[in-house]
Chains A and B, each alone.
Chain A
Amino acid sequence: MATAETYPNIVFDWRSETAEHVPESARKVAFDIKQALFQPLPGACPSRTATKISKITVVGVGNVGMACAQTILTQNLADELALVDVDPEKLRGEMLDLQHAAAFLPRAKIVANTDYKVSEGSDICIVSAGARQRNGESRLALVQRNVAIFKSIIPQLVKYSPAAILLIISNPVDALTYVAWKLSGFPSNRVFGSGTNLDSSRFRGLLADRLDVSAHNVHGYVIGEHGDSSVPVWSTVNIGGVPIIEFLKNMGIPYSQSTLDELHKMVIGGAYEVIKLKGYTSWAIGYSVASLVNSLLRDQRCIHPVSVCAKGFYGIKDEVYLSLPTQLGYTGVMGVLNLPLTDEEREKLQQSAKTLAEVQDQLDI
C-alpha cells in the first residue's frame, strides 16, 4: 500500500494507513488478510492507476457544496472526490456521512482536508465557498466580502491542479468568476461560472408547469447576469421546436409584454423566495452543477448558459463575465453559440454587461 503522506493539518484520507477511524489492531489484521485473500499475478506492475481517474474537488462544504458533492456521487460522475473547507470538524463529518453510504454507491475515493494538497490532480475544481446571501440582499452586495475569501482559495487550487477547469458557484457568480479568472491566470476556456444555468432551469420549469409539458421540451435561455438584470431570450423560446412568440402571434392569442416580464420576474424571484422560506438554496444548484460536470467530464458537448468572458460578443466591449449559451466538453468552454438576439434583447444584454462592469471596476483584486 502507498505510504500515507503526513500533513501538519488533520488528514482525513480515507485510504491512508494513518486514518483515524481504523482501530490500530484491526489495521494490522486487515493487512495480513488482504495479502492472503488476493494473490497478484506474476509479472504484474505495481499498483498505480493504469487509466486516469476522474477527480473532482469541491471547496466549501456548506449546503451548496454538499448538494453538489452528493449529486455528483449519486450520478457516479467521479472516481475521486476531494472536499476542502476551513472548518475541520464539519469537513470530517460530511466526509464520513458520504463514506458511510459505501454499500449503496459505486466505489469512489472520498477524501477531505483543510490543506489544498488533497485537491491535487483534479479535473474540475468547484468553488462554492463564500459568504451566504442574506435575506433581501442583492447579489452584488456580496462581492467585496467574497473577494478576500477567493484570494485564499484560487491560488491554492491552481498550485495543485494547474490543468484543472475552475467552476465557480459562489455568489455573485459573474463577478466572482471574473475574480477567479484573474487570480488563476488560466486561459478563459478553463474558468467559468454556473451563471444562469439554474435560472434557465427555473424559467423552463415555470413554462413547462404552465403548459403541462416536460421541462426537457421547453427550450429557452436566460442570459446575462445571474441576478436581477438577466435577460430571457423570448425570441428563441420554443416548445418542442415551436417558437412561442411567433406561435402566439400566428394563433392570434393576445398577450402583453408585462405578462412575459412577470414570468421573468418570477424566475429572478425564485432564488430569493427559497432563501426566504428555507434559509438557503441547495438542491437545485446541486443538480445544475452536476449537469455541468457531466458535460465537462464526459465531453457531452451540450450547450449550457454559463458565465463566461463575454468581451466581443453582442457588442460588449468590457472584459466582463456573464452568461451566454456555451458548449462544454473536455477542454471546458468549447465555444459560444451564436444565438440571434432581437435589438431589444441585445440592448438588455449590454445593459446587464454594464451593470457588471461597474461592479468589477470597483473590485480590489
Chain B
Amino acid sequence: MATAETNTNGKIVFDSKSEAKVEYAPESAPKLALEIKKDLFQTLPGSCPLNTAKGNWKITVVGVGNVGMACAQTILTQNLADELALVDVEPNKLRGEMLDLQHAAAFLPRAKIVADTDYKITAGSAICIVTAGARQKPGESRLALVQKNVSILKSIIPQIVKYSPDAILLIISNPVDALTYVSWKLSGFPANRVLGSGTNLDSSRFRWLLADHLDVNAHNVHGYLIGEHGDSSVPVWSTVNVGGVSLLQFLKDNGTPCSQAILDEVHKKVVDGAYEVIQLKGYTSWAIGYSVASLVKCLLRDQRWIHPVSVCAKGFHGIEDEVFLSLPTQLGSSGVVGVLNVPLTDEERKKLQQSAQTLAAVQAELDI
C-alpha cells in the first residue's frame, strides 16, 4: 500500500485512505486489515507499485455549507468524480460532512473522499469549486456582499493555485460576477480557466417558469438570461424558443397580445426566485447544486454544451470594461472554449451594457 502522507503541521488530516493515525480507526483494526489485504489479493509478478497511477477526475469543493455540500453530494450522485476533496476553516463540520458522505459507500460508486483545513489535499484537482463566503441575508442585494468576500478569497485562491496550477476555477460565492473577477485577478490564470456559475441557474428558473406556464418540459424551452447574476440580468427574449418556435415571433403571428410589462413580470419572478427561497428556508442549496453539477459534467467530460456562465466579457457586445458577466459560453475540458455570438436586439444590447456598467462600478471600488 502507498505510504500515507503525514501532515506535519499539527492539523487534523481526515484522509479516508491514510494509514497514519486516523482518529476513528481502532488501533488493532488497521493492522488486521493490512495482513488480510496482502493474502486476499495476490499481485501479478512484474506489476508496477499500486496507487501510483492517478485518475483525471479530482474535484475540490471549498466551503462545506449548504451550497458546497449540495454541490458535493450532487456531483457524487451523478458519479462525476474519482476523488472529492473538501476544504473549510471549521474542522468539526468538515469532518462530519466527509463522514456523512463516506458512510454511503454501499450506495455509491467508489470515490475517494478526503477533507482537510489544509489545501494540500486539493493537489492535482481538475476543477476547484469555491462556495465559501458570507451568506446573502434576506433582502440584501448581492452587490452588498462584495467587500466581505474579497478578503475571504484572498485566503483561498492563492492556496488553490499553489496546489492545482492547471485547474479550472469555478466560482459560486455571491456576488458571483464580482468575485469571479477577483478570483481571476488573484489567480493569474488565463481567462478560459476562471468562470463563475453566473446566470446558469437564473436561466433554469427562467426556463422552468416558461415551461410551467406552457406545460412543456423545461428542456424544450430554450433561452438565456445573461449579464449580471442579479437584479440587472437581461432576458434575451428575442431568441427564446420552444422546440425551435421563436416565442415572440409566434406571439406576433398568432395575434396574441403580449405587452412588455408581462415579459418584465416574468423576468422579475426569475430575479426574485432566489430571494424568495432565501426568505422561506433561509438559503438556497438544491438548485445551485444541480446547476454546478451540470457545469462540472460539461467541463470534465468535454461535453461542449452552451451554458450562460460568468466570463470575462471585454470585447463582446460593445463592452469595454474588463468585467465578468454571463454570456452563452461553450464549455469543455479546456474550460471556456468560446462565447456564442448570440444576436441581440438594440435594446437587449443596451441593457447588457448597463449591466456591465453596474458591475464595473463595483469592481472599480474593490480593494484586491
State the A residues within 8 Å of B (CB).
1, 14-15, 19, 21-23, 25-27, 29-30, 32-34, 36-37, 66-67, 70-71, 74-75, 89-90, 92-94, 96-105, 107, 198, 200-202, 204-205, 207-212, 214-216, 239, 242, 244, 247-248, 251, 253, 255-256, 258-259, 262-263, 265-266, 269-270, 273-279, 281-284, 286-288, 290-291
Contact = CB atoms under 8 A, between A and B. Distances in A.
Given A208-B105, A263-B26, A34 B214 contact: yes
B103 A274 contact: yes
A75 B106 CA distance: 16
A208 B110 CA distance: 10
Given A99-B208, A212-B17, 19 more contacts: A21-B209, A23-B262, A32-B256, A36-B250, A101-B291, A102-B207, A103-B208, A107-B217, A208-B105, A210-B34, A211-B37, A215-B105, A242-B40, A255-B32, A259-B29, A273-B96, A277-B93, A284-B100, A287-B108
B339 interface: no
B75 to A, nearest CB: 10
B204 A103 contact: yes
A33 B211 CA distance: 12
A290 B278 CA distance: 27
Given A89-B281, A94-B281, A259-B28, A205 B103 contact: yes
Contacts of B97: 277-278, 283
A30 B105 contact: no
Interface in B259-284: 259, 261-262, 265-266, 269, 273, 276-282, 284
Contact of B104 (A74, A201, A244): A201
A205 to B, nearest CB: 3
> Majority SS of interface residues in chain A?
helix
Contact of B273 (A66, A100, A198, A290): A100
25 contacts: A15-B212, A19-B212, A23-B269, A29-B251, A32-B254, A33-B247, A33-B250, A34-B213, A93-B277, A94-B286, A96-B280, A97-B277, A100-B204, A207-B33, A262-B28, A263-B29, A266-B24, A274-B100, A276-B92, A276-B96, A277-B93, A283-B69, A283-B97, A283-B100, A284-B104
A29 B200 CA distance: 26
A256 to B, nearest CB: 7
A277 B92 contact: yes
A105 B254 contact: no
B57 interface: no
A65 to B, nearest CB: 12
B147 interface: no
Contacts, number: 253
A96 B205 CA distance: 10
B16 interface: yes
> Majority SS of interface residues in chain B?
helix
Contacts of A281: 100, 103
B201 A102 contact: no
A102 B69 CA distance: 20
Contacts of B74: 70, 74
B261 to A, nearest CB: 7
Contacts of A104: 204, 290-291, 293-294
Nearest to B205: A100
Given A103-B204, A211-B37, A277-B95, A291 B107 contact: yes
Interface in B15-47: 16-17, 24-26, 28-30, 32-37, 39-40
A22 B24 contact: no
Given A100-B273, A239-B40, A266-B26, A215 B106 contact: yes
B99 interface: yes
